[in-house]
Every structure is written in structure tokens, then in C-alpha cells.
Chains A and B, each alone.
Chain A
Amino acid sequence: MSANDQSGGGAARQGQLKREGLIFEHGAPGRVGYSLPKLDVPEIDPVESWGADQVRDDIAGFPEVSEVEVVRHFTRISQHNFGVDTGMFPLGSCTMKYNPRVNESVARLPGFAAAHPYMPYSMMQGSLELMERLEQALAGVTGMDRVTLQPAAGAQGELTGIMLIAAYHAHRGEQRTKVLIPDSAHGTNPATASFCGLEPVEIPSNSRGTIDIEALAAEADENTAALMLTNPNTIGLFEDQMDEIARIIHDVGGQIYCDGANLNAILGKTRPGDIGIDVFHINLHKTFTTPHGGGGPGGGPVAVREHLAPFLPWPTVERDDSGMLCLDWQRPQSIGKIHTFQGNFAILVRAYAYIRALGPEGLRQVAEDAVLNANYLRVKLEGHYHLPYQQISLHEVIFSDRKQKKNGVTAMDICKRLMDYGYHPPTVYFPLVVPGALMLEPTETVSREELDVFIDAMIAIAGEAETDPDVVKGAPHSTFLRRLDEVGAARRPVLRWDPQAADTDGD
């Protein structure tokens, strides 16, 4: 590709892309996009039944569109999105891997999908068995004793995990106030600690990118409620001194919480429960391929060691004396209720289906291929991009924009330029410990050829940053829209469609 070809590899799709107005700009009075069953019972006039002052008019502002218009509208706007099936999605720490289609179909089986959460247990043995089996599988993969499937997402799992630790200390009559958090941690970690009334204390990384053990030992004391760890950490490195870390924290009576964001790298290679971790949360959409959905719904099960099990959110899945599965609402030491019902069941079905498709050898192969692919990117791109940590990485690898910055090209510019080549950008500016970070996680679901084409694109962009930096700085060129004005959006927020403003614009 010549440097003048600003469109990159993604241009071929553009002919399909059409501008599409808001749904509010479609339709006309009297069109309907719904059908109703003919009333087989007497009609009730709400004004008579409730009183006129309790009943609203129709919903001004809503569109009046046919089903055809609805389908075309949402199909068209979908084409302005990039999905995992569109192409490689090397988004570090987010593990955007292929989402098997069979998982979608089994989650929609009527026996699962049409079940109300308050169905009598005797009628729900199949779903409860799935939950019991998934709990056992996740406990097996993580080496832990019990698992709650209730949290609706990783962040809620994290909140649950820290609440479990706080409840554990409170139960023992201890008032501990500090949570130690490595500086490479996810932003949710300090947010969660504060949410639970605990004070986050930052622990620096050493030059190898792992926890500074001396700093940890100096900060750990009888006031330490927990260490919040990510292992492998956000730099993609394994905390190789886990024995020492666990000893330091447990010696002062603290608990170790591990963020399971990077479980994909260690499946069958190491188990959190075997290396001193007390609480571990799992992002089902990362490791266990439940679809990201553009930002949820997720699933954030939390796995714990036995001593924390009494504090798990109620209800838990248990068997009664007759062996029948049921939900146990009577958990006196429980931290309480986290989800309105028993968790995002339809997401759990997908995760369970994935685990059963792979089995123990398959799961281990997932970790091996993910790590293999990340290291291949590392050796192929080293030299073209600055590599802050030289050692073998696990499932993700971090470069930075240091070389390109000399020509005024930032990590964000490189990201936007990758869109022109047909890729979703990597994670940028995270972790914060690496300035201008570009975090790549190819996952196990990309092939060698795909990796090679991606590598070529990255090298081409590095070349453009030298020879024609403006083409990178002005990217993307081939997307439906160019760079968007985020400053204007934040200064004068327009957060909803306003028909009156739209009318005025038209005058």
C-alpha cells in the first residue's frame, strides 16, 4: 500500500455504509410496528377505572414506524459497528475472542429462556443443575471451594468480593481499613475499595513490572483488610513471587483478592486457589466467550475459599435432604442480595456450554495458544515499536508510542489509523504505568495468517509515522465518520433527541 492511499484496507466496506437518521426522524402518523391479540375479555377504560388524573396521554416524541422500517434502521446502524466476526480485535485486557454460535442457540431453548425466576424448584431442576455444574466447573478451573453466580458483571463481582472480605473481618470482630492495590491495577479496584469504606493504598511496581515486594511488606500490617491483585497482572506478567506475597498478606491477617480479568492466560497452568488467593472474580465474557454485546450484559461469578463461603450473597444453589436442587435463601451471615434474582442466567448457559465444548485439554490449549499468539506479536513488532518490558509475556503484550511520538504521532493516532486497515484498535493508555501504552491481546482465536497481516499493518503504520505522520494523525480516513468532537459533546451535552430543537434547526 502506498503512503498516499489514505483509505487503508477497510475501504471496501464503505460502499455498503449509508447515512442513517435517528429513528425519530422516520415514520408518519398512523403507522404501526406491532400487532395485538384481539381482546377476548371485556375492555377496561383506565380513565373510568383509575380516574382521569392518573392516566397519561399518548407518548409524544415516540416514532410511528412499521416493522420494516425498524428492521432496516437497526440493520443499517449495525453496519457502523465493528464486531469480533468483522475482524481481529486485539483489545488488551478485554479478551475479545470468538463467540460460538451454538451458545446463542442453547441459551434460547424455551425450557431455559421462558422460565420465570420464581418458578417452583421442582419445575426448575434442569436450570438449577446447570448452575450447580457451572459452579463446580468454575471452582475446578480456579481451584476454589465455592462460587456465587449472582454478580451481573465483573465490576459487581469485584464489589461482591471485597464485601465478602469486609464481612469476614467484621465477623471476626476486626476493624481493618486498608486495601493494598498495585499501581498497574484496573481503575475499578480503587473505586471498589472506596465504595466499601476502605482506603486504597497504592503499591508501586518494580522495574520488571511486578509488585515491589519490599514496598508491599512495608505497607502490610494489622490494618490491612486485603491485597487486590491482578495475576497475571495488567502488563501480562505473572506475579512470580506469589508464595512471598501470600505469606506477607496472610501473616498480617489480610485476605488476597484477585481480579480474574486475565484468567484466559492461565487456564490449566496455575490455579488461584492453589497459590494463596482467597477470592477470585471471573469475567465470563472474557475467558468464557459470552458475547460482549457492546457493553453487557455480563456475568461476574466470584470464587472463594471455604472460609468465605458463609458470606456469599443469597441465594446459593444447594441440594435438600431428598437431593432436590433448590435456592437457599436462609444464609444468616451472607453479605445480602446483589442481583434482583439469581444472576444473569442466560449468560451462565453460554459460559457453561463453552466450558463443556472444550473440556480440560481444550481449556489448557486455549491458554497456550493465547500466550503463543501474544509472544509472536511481541517478537515481530519489537524494533518497530518501543517494548517497555522485554521478557516473555503471557496472553498480552504492551508496546508504547515512544518511537512514534518523536514525529508527533501518539498511541491514539496509531489506534485510529488501525481502523483504516480494518482492525479494532488495541487498548491505549492503560496500564497507566506505561506512558502511551498500546496493549495487544490477540487471543487464541486468530490464525497465523491473520496475525501476519495485522503485523504488516502495524509495521506499515510505524513507517507512515516516519514518512507521512499527518496521514496517521488525521486517521481514520475510511470510517463512516471522521474523528468526533468529544470536547464539544462534554461542554454542551446533548443527551437526548429534542424534537423542538430539531424543528428550530430546520427553520
Chain B
Amino acid sequence: MTKTNDPYGGGKYLSQGPDDRRALLEAIGVDSIDDLFASIPASSRFSGQLPVEPALAEVELARHLRELADSNGPAQGVLSFLGAGCYPHYVPAHVDALIQRQEFLTSYTPYQAEISQGTLQYIFEFQSLICFLTGIDVCNASMYDGGSAVAEAILMARRLRRQGGKVLWSEGLHPIYREVAATYATYRDLTFEIMPLGEDGRTIVPPIDDDVVAVVVQQPNFFGIVEDLKAAGADLENHPAQYVVVTSESLSWGLTVPAGDVGADLVVGELQSFGNGLNYGGPLVGFMACRQSSVRNLPGRLAGQTVDENGERGFVLTLSTREQHIRRAKATSNICTNTALCALATCIHLCSLGRNGVRDLAKTNLAKATYARQQIASEANLEVVYTGPHFNEFAIQLPGDAVEIVDRCSEAGVVPGVPLGWFDTERSRQLLVCVTEIHRRAEIDRLVTTLAEVCR
């Protein structure tokens, strides 16, 4: 019988057969494969079998993973109104089809520009789209996620300011973004001060002293409130501190005033809403955009336009001296990955929505969420926490512990929102509800009746 590679598992991913291995060993001039590992001394050698479960054939593997996936709520038609930094939007089929083209999916970071023009061109388009959306000059090629983007923005603000060490951040900044930024700043001489929210849910910006390096406001904020960015940044016009505007729900930009037009120095956050699914929270699409004068301090990759030897337009990664592989210990950050494929999905979705679609989709979200908010107030008799203008999310006050109420609603097949007590114990009776274009009126009505029953 001919010996073959393992037909019962992943043998099909190996391109050398038993005969090939013999031929290669002979060509190399060694007797056995062990000779090639001779540099690993006996004391370092692992000789047992790896404690990993036995191989699965593809049919078994697909079944095993389908069983795991099917045991999750979303496979069983659970109705959910969760947002809080990761938003349920419809991803058009062509977006996912295009990002699965192997030329995008399996390509490398575009250091070799001549065979990476596809990636470089869409990064350039992505950068341009985000500049148009945010009203600011330069955007990088994407980052890991909103949390790390906020963290990097604060570190960048510190580099630009060169002195001072105080960061003022809004209570309306996503609490986990604050956590990630605090982790990144562990070894920096920075202090963080919370700017509270008023009754309308908008940030109250205190007088800004000399020590401040950054003022950080989220639009719309964590509680779904549309901030008045111009008013919040008014005192920053003649102050060297960086005005950092964050978003976790970038779809809102279809309607809100571009941050760059109202004084923002850095615009950062999350683009998952465009073209990317929920995926249990990752991968996401962080980004960071700044003014032209700060570009040399911007972390992350950048694609730039240039020409080839024949004068044809092309694109390259540029200003790479900012990055770790050149500067090593002096790099602006240690990031060497963006989230290129997710940024591609964002880019494709944004191009498809085009000049009018971002606004139209945002208006749909506004209408659905407003309906839900009004129905919850009138039919379930639950009050909203803040009186200010909302986009597609809002916080409501519950009569009891939000975690318990969520559990009880969940038993009825409705996950009504995110319990805010997770982030702040003083908010243990508050719930953050998100409604988007995926929710039909009947589903919103079901949310309202479920909440009304459970809270009665």
C-alpha cells in the first residue's frame, strides 16, 4: 500500500508527499528529518505528542464549528438591541464577496509597491473617504480598534504638546476606550480628569489650564447624545492642547457636522459600522486622522500618491520613517499592523453608499431609534436618562437592576440593551439601547412590550 499524507485531517494542506520528502532529504544530504533539527539540543527537545485534540476531516471540522456556532443566541433568532461600540448594521453581499478575493485576502503588507497596487490604491481611497467624512486633512491606513486609536491619539497629543500632562476626557467617552488608553499610558506621565455630563447629556468642558495636553470628546457620546462639538471646543481655539474628537458610531457622520470643520485637531475612533459585522467584537477598524501640520507625528501606515519610471500614477507606503522598523526605539508607536482587510470592507461600503447614502442610512437609524425611544417612554413608561438630542442609541432608567432585567428579557428572546452598571456601579439601573436599520417596527414594538412586561 502506498503511504500518503494524512487523508483524515489536514494532510491536504501539505504539498510534499512521502516521496518528495525522501528526495529532498537526499538532495540536502542528510539521512533523516531529525538531522535537520539537530541544532535543538536534547535538553530543549520535545519528544512527546502535543496535547492537542486529534485531527478532523473537513466535514467533521465544519460540523464541529457549526455546532458551536449554532449553540449561540444569534443562531437561534435572538432579537438584540446592543450597541455600545459595536453596531449591528447590514453588510451588503458584494462587500463580503470582494474582500474574499484572494488578491486582497491573502496578500501581504504592500511594501513591494509594484505588485501591491491594489492594496495601496484602496488604502489611498480609504484615507481620502475618511478625510471627506471628518473634514480633516490626513487619515492613516487604519488601526486595530477604537480603543487603541484613542490611546494612540492621547500619546500623539502629548508628543505634539511637548509639555504638560493632563488629559481631560468626557464622561461620555466610551468607558472601555478610557480603559485601553489608561493601559497604554501606564508608563507615561499623564493624569486623566473626567469632564462630567450635563442634564442634557452633553459634556461640560471646564476652563483649560496650561497643563492640559488633550481634551477628548466623543461624538455621539457613549450615551448616544449628539454633542455640540463647536461649543465644547470653543476654549481650545487659542490653546495648544489638542482637541480630540472620538467616534464609536461613525455612521452618525452622515448627519453630524464634520469634526474638522468645528476645530478638532485629531479625529479618531471606530469604523466597524461601515462594512464590518459584529464578530463577537473583533476584528474592528480603528482609524486616526489629523491636521496636515501634525502628519509626521501620526502613527500607523500611510499610502501616498506618486509616479513610476514611466510617469504613470501609482501609490506607495510613505513617510515610513515614523514607523518601528526604521526608528526602532524612537518610533512613534509600536504598531506594525493595520486592519487592512476590514478597512477595505469599510472603503467598499462607503463607496457604495456614496455622496447621499451615508446620510440616508443615518436618517433611517435616527428615525428608528427615535420611534423606539418615544414608544419606550409612552408605552413602557421608562424615562430616558438624558434630555439632549440622540442618534441611534439612548440610555433609559429602569425600576430595578439592569442585569436582572436583561436576563429576564433574554429569557423571552429579547436582549434589550447593555446594562450600564458594568461600567459604572452608580448606573446599575440604566440600560443602553441601540436601534438601527436592521430593526423592523414590529421588532421595536416587541422590545417595548417585553420591557414593559418585565419592568411592570
Contact = CB atoms under 8 A, between A and B. Distances in A.
Asked if chains A and B are in direct contact (CB within 8 A), the reply is yes
Given A44-B367, A368-B36, 6 more contacts: A46-B366, A70-B348, A85-B106, A109-B70, A155-B335, A339-B148
A12 interface: no
B124 A82 contact: no
B1 interface: no
Contacts of A36: 357, 360-361, 364, 437
Interface stretch (B133-141, B161-169, B376-384, B448-456): B133-141
Contacts of B339: 152, 293, 295-297
Nearest to A490: B318
Contact of B10 (A354, A425, A476): A354
Interface in B243-267: 253-258
A398 to B, nearest CB: 15
Given A50-B389, A153-B337, A188-B324, A347 B282 contact: yes
Contact of A341 (B142, B282, B308, B367): B282
Contact of B118 (A77, A340, A494): A77
B51 A154 contact: no
Interface residues of B, number: 199
B233 interface: no
Interface string B73-108: 111001010101110100010101110111111111
A154 B443 CA distance: 41
A60 interface: yes
B312 interface: yes
Contacts of A291: 105-106, 341
A485 B314 CA distance: 9
Contact of A243 (B44, B84, B342, B407): B44
B55 A118 contact: no
B132 A484 contact: no
A113 B279 contact: yes
Contacts of B142: 296
Interface stretch (A120-128, A213-221, A301-309): A120-128
A457 interface: no
A65 B351 contact: yes
B86 A341 contact: yes
A250 to B, nearest CB: 15
Contacts of B6: 361-362, 365
Interface residues of A, number: 203
B39 A238 contact: yes
A391 interface: yes
A176 interface: no
Nearest to A185: B328
Given A62-B358, A70-B94, A99-B105, A41 B444 contact: yes
A484 B316 contact: yes
B213 interface: no
Contacts of A355: 52
A237 B370 CA distance: 62
Contact of B358 (A59, A108, A360, A392): A59
A44 to B, nearest CB: 5
A58 interface: yes
B339 to A, nearest CB: 4
A495 B303 CA distance: 6
Interface stretch (A263-271, A401-409, A433-441): A263-271
Contacts of B122: 74, 77
Contacts of B282: 117, 152, 297, 339-347
Given A106-B62, A296-B342, A494-B304, A24 B107 contact: no
Interface in B24-71: 24-25, 27-30, 33, 35-41, 43-46, 49-56, 58, 61-62, 64-71
